[in-house]
Structure 1
Amino acid sequence: MSTNYSARSFIAATIALLVIFGASATPIPLYEVYHQTKGVSYESLSITAVVYFIGAVTALLFFGRISNHLGRKITTLLAFGLAAAAMLLFLTVESAFPLILGRFLLGLACGLASSSITAYVVDTAHPDKQWLASAIVSNSPLVGLTIGALASGLFVEYGPYQLMLCYLVMLGVIAVSAALILSGHETVDSQKGLIKSLKPRFTLSNPSAYPVAAITFVATWALGGFFQAYGPSIAAEQLHEKSTFIGSIVFASYLFPGAIGGLLSGKLTPHQSQKIGMIIFTLSLAGLVFALQQKNLIEFLIASALAGTAQGAVLTGSIRSMLHNAQIKERAGVLSIVYATCYTGAAIPSYIAGQLSNSLSLLQLLYCYLGLAIFACAFTLFYPSHERTVAPAHMTKSLYNE
C-alpha cells in the first residue's frame, strides 16, 4: 500500500476541491440581479467567464508545478487565500469591475486547485480505489460548482442581505476547510527549483491519449462556460422563470450529473467512456436546443442532466487515459495540461459568444455549441484508437501509482 494513503487527508483534499469550485460559483446566481440592479451588461457577464478561465490557465501555466516544491498543503492554502479575497471583492460590487476582478482571482484559485489539490487527492487515495480518485478529480469541480450555485441561490432567494450573505457564509466555509487541510499530512517533500518550476512545462505521460482527450475537454467545458455566463439569463429570458433559485437549478442541472457519469464510467475503458459519452452528450445537446425552442423548463432540465451525465463519463475517461502510467512527480504536470486545455477550450468559445451576444439570441448561440459537439463527437469516433487502451477502472488496482 502506498505510504501516502491517508483517509483523513484524502477527505480533506476532496473537500478543499469542492470548496474552491463552490466559491467560484457563488456569484453566478446573482448575475441577473447585478444585471437588473447594477447595470452589468450581458457582454460584461460573458467577460467574467472569460477572465475566470484566463486566471485558471495563467495559474496552470506558471504555477501548475509549484506544489512539487512548496508542498500540496501550502499550495492549497494559497488557493484558499485567493478565493477569500474574491469573496471580499464581491461584497463591494456596484459595477462590473469588482465582479470581473473577483472572477479572475477565482480563476487563479481554481487553476491552482486543478493541478495541486487534484494531485493531493490522487496522492492520498487508496491504491485499490484509484478509479474513485479519478472520478473525484474529474467531477469535484462540477459538484463544487453545483453546490456553490444552489446554496448561493437559496441564500439570495430566501435569506437576508441578498447581496452579502452568500459571500459571508463562503468565507466561513473556506476557513473550516483550511483547518482540515492543516490537519492532514504532506505527500511531497519540499525541494529546490521553485523559480524554475514557474517556467511553463507540461507533462504528457501518455501522449497518444491527448488528441481525443483534448477535443472532449473543449466540447464539454465550452458548454459549461455557456451555462456559467448565461444560466440565470436562460431561466429568466428564455424559460420565463424569474426566481434566482430556479436560475441556480438551470446552471446546476448540467454540472451535478457529471459526478454520476464519472462513477458510471468506472466499468468502461477510457476509450469506451469517450465514445459512448460523446454520442450521448451530442444527442442531449440537441435536446437542449429543442427544449429551449419550446421554452419548456422540465424538458430543458432533463436534457441538461443527460448532457451533464455524459460529459462526466467523458471527462473521467479522458483523465484516466491521460494519467495512465504517470509517476507521482508527473501528476501535477499532467493535470495542469488537462485543465489548461479545459479552461482554454471554455474561454475561447465564451469570448466569441460574448461578442456574438449583441446580435444573436441565447438559442442561436446554443446552436453554435451544438455544432462544436457534433465535430468533437465525430473526431472521437473516427480518430485511430491504437495505443489508447487502458483497462476498466474496476480491473485496475493501481492505475496511477508508481
Structure 2
Amino acid sequence: MATATDLRPERVGSRFGLWVVTAVLGLFLFAAGAPTPLYGMYAARWGFTPATLTVIFAVYAVALLATLLVTGSLSDAVGRRPVILAALALQSLSMVAFLVADGLGWLFVARIGQGVATGLVTAAVAAALIDHQPANRPGLGPLLNAVTPMLGLAFGSLVAGALVQYAPHPLRLVYALMLAGFVLLAVAMLRVPESVAERRPVDLHPRIGVAPETRAMFWVALPCIVACWALGGLFLSLGPSLIRQLGHSTNHLLGGATAFALCAAGALAGVLVRGWTSHRAMLTGCALLVAGLVIAVTAITTAHVVLLLVGSVVAGAGFGAAFLGAFRTLVVAADPARRGELIAALYVVAYLAFSLPAVVAGLLTTRVGLRATSVGYAVVVAMLAACSIAAAARRQRRTG
C-alpha cells in the first residue's frame, strides 16, 4: 500500500528551490484561472457565443497537450532549471499578448502561448518538486503537486473577478501583475540549483509512457483523474455563466465564486488527507465528488445559488483528495529515471479531460441550454467517479 513515506528523493535539491518551484507552479495555474471571470466581458465586448468561449478555453489545453507530448521528458535530458526558465519567458510574452489584445485573434494568440508555456513547464515543475523535497518529508513533493495547482486556479479566478469588478482597467491590470510575477520568478529561478545530475541527448519525439510495473495502477486511477479534471473544466469554462444565470447577476466576482469554491476546497482537502494512504484518499475523494455533484445538480434544477456553492465545496474537497491519492499512487511506484514520462502521461490525461468535455458542453449549450448541459455533464462525471471507486475497491481486494 502506497503511503507518503514510500517516496524518497533521488536527486539533491534545496529548500529554496522547493518553494521557488512551488511558486512557479502556483502562478502558472493562477494565470490559467485568471481569464475565467473575464470571459463574460470579452464576450460582451467582442460578441462571441458560449461555444466560442469554450473553444478559447480549450485552445489553451490543446496547446498545452501538444507541447507536453513533445517536451514531457525534456527536463530529464537537459535539466529542470533551463526548461522552467524557458517556460517563464514564454509565459511572460503571453501576458504581453493579453495586455495588447484588442480582438478575438489576439485572445487566441495569448491563450495558445499560455498553453505552450504551461505544457513546457508542467512535467519539469512536477518532477522538480519531487527532486527538491526534504529527505525527512518524502510526501511533501506529491502534496505540493496536488494542492498548488488548485490553489492557483482558485485564487486566479477569485482575484481576477475582484479586479474586474472593482479595480480600474479590468482587462489589463491582472495581466500586468502576473507579468511582473513571472519576471520575478525567473530571477529567483537563476538561484535554484539544478537537481538533475546526469544529462542525456535531447529527444523531442513524444516521450510519455506508463511503465509495465505501474500500468495496472494507472488504469485504476484513470477514471478518477478524468472525473476530477473534467469537473474542473466545467467549473472554469461554464461555471461563471451558470452561477450568474442562476443568481440573475452580472457581478464578475460572483462569476469566479464557483471556481474558487471548487479549487480552494480541493487544496484544503489535499492538506487534510496528506497523512492518509493513497487508496483511502482516492476512494474518499471520489465519494465526496459524487456527493458534491448530487448537491450541484439539485441546485441547478432548483436555481439555488447558495446550494450550488455548497455543492462546489463538497465536490472540490473530493477533487483534492482523489487527485492527491491518484497522483501519489502513481509517482510512488515510478522508476525515478522515468518519472517525467509518467507525470507527462498523467497530465496528458488530465488536460484532455479538462478541455475536450468542456468544448462539447459549450456546443451543447447552444442546443439544449446551459442548465441542461451542466446537469448532463455532472451526471457523466459522477458516473466516472463511481467507476473509480469500484475499480480501486476491486484492486484492493485482489492485492490485500
- Normalised to the residue count of structure 2, the TM-score between the two structures is 0.92
State the AA in 1 paired with 2:141: A
- Residues 71-82 of structure 1 correspond to what in structure 2 (within 5 A)? 71-82=79-90
State the AA in 2 paired with 1:277: G
* CA distance in structure 2 between the partners assigned to 1:372 and 1:296 by the alignment: 21
Q: Alignment partner of 1:127: what SS?
A: coil
- Residues 305-320 of structure 1 correspond to what in structure 2 (within 5 A)? 305-320=313-328
Counterpart in the other structure of 2:22: 14
Q: Percent identity?
A: 25
Match of 2:111 among 103, 113, 119: 103
Counterpart in the other structure of 1:326: 334
Is 1:200 matched up with 2:207? yes
Distance 1:389 1:182, change over 3 A: farther
Counterpart in the other structure of 1:396: none
* CA distance in structure 1 between the partners assigned to 2:150 and 2:94 by the alignment: 19
Distance 1:388 1:253, change over 3 A: farther
* CA distance in structure 2 between the partners assigned to 1:60 and 1:245 by the alignment: 32
* CA distance in structure 1 between the partners assigned to 2:48 and 2:210 by the alignment: 40
Contact 2:290 2:315 in 1 (8 A): yes
1:388, distance to aligned residue in structure 2 (A): 8.8
Match of 1:174 among 165, 173, 182: 182
- Residues 89-238 of structure 1 correspond to what in structure 2 (within 5 A)? 89-189=97-197, 191-194=199-202, 196-204=203-211, 206-238=214-246
1:223, distance to aligned residue in structure 2 (A): 1.3
Contact 1:56 1:107 in 2 (8 A): yes
Counterpart in the other structure of 1:398: none
* CA distance in structure 1 between the partners assigned to 2:33 and 2:385 by the alignment: 28
State the AA in 2 paired with 1:209: M
Contact 1:222 1:346 in 2 (8 A): yes
Match of 1:270 among 278, 283, 300: 278
Match of 1:245 among 253, 260, 263: 253
Distance 1:22 1:128, change over 3 A: same
* CA distance in structure 2 between the partners assigned to 1:257 and 1:335 by the alignment: 24
Contact 1:23 1:83 in 2 (8 A): no
Q: Which runs of 4+ in 1 moved over 4 A?
A: 386-390
* CA distance in structure 1 between the partners assigned to 2:58 and 2:255 by the alignment: 20
Give per-residue Cα distances to partners, 1:50-109, cap 9 Å, x unaligned.
211111211221110111122111111122122212211212333322222322222222
* CA distance in structure 2 between the partners assigned to 1:388 and 1:236 by the alignment: 47
Give per-residue Cα distances to partners, 1:352-376, cap 9 Å, x unaligned.
1122121122221122222223322
Q: Alignment partner of 1:114: what SS?
A: helix
State the AA in 2 paired with 1:287: I
Counterpart in the other structure of 1:375: 383
1:386, distance to aligned residue in structure 2 (A): 4.8
* CA distance in structure 1 between the partners assigned to 2:351 and 2:398 by the alignment: 23
Contact 1:44 1:96 in 2 (8 A): no
Contact 2:293 2:382 in 1 (8 A): no
* CA distance in structure 1 between the partners assigned to 2:105 and 2:246 by the alignment: 27
1:190, distance to aligned residue in structure 2 (A): 5.8
Give per-residue Cα distances to partners, 1:165-205, cap 9 Å, x unaligned.
111111001111111211111101362321x2433332435
* CA distance in structure 2 between the partners assigned to 1:190 and 1:164 by the alignment: 43
Q: Point out where structure 1 has 5 or more consecutive residues left out of the alignment.
A: 391-402
* CA distance in structure 2 between the partners assigned to 1:389 and 1:93 by the alignment: 55
Contact 1:291 1:297 in 2 (8 A): yes
1:117, distance to aligned residue in structure 2 (A): 0.6
Match of 1:62 among 70, 79, 96: 70
* CA distance in structure 2 between the partners assigned to 1:296 and 1:190 by the alignment: 56
1:264, distance to aligned residue in structure 2 (A): 2.4
* CA distance in structure 1 between the partners assigned to 2:265 and 2:164 by the alignment: 23
* CA distance in structure 2 between the partners assigned to 1:291 and 1:130 by the alignment: 41
State the AA in 1 paired with 2:236: Q
Give per-residue Cα distances to partners, 1:111-151, cap 9 Å, x unaligned.
22321111111100012322221121112111111222222
How large is the RMSD of aligned CA atoms in angstroms? 2.0
Distance 1:61 1:264, change over 3 A: same
Contact 1:135 1:263 in 2 (8 A): yes
State the AA in 2 paired with 1:230: L
Contact 2:244 2:255 in 1 (8 A): yes
Distance 1:358 1:99, change over 3 A: same
* CA distance in structure 1 between the partners assigned to 2:378 and 2:236 by the alignment: 17
* CA distance in structure 1 between the partners assigned to 2:104 and 2:247 by the alignment: 25
State the AA in 2 paired with 1:83: Q
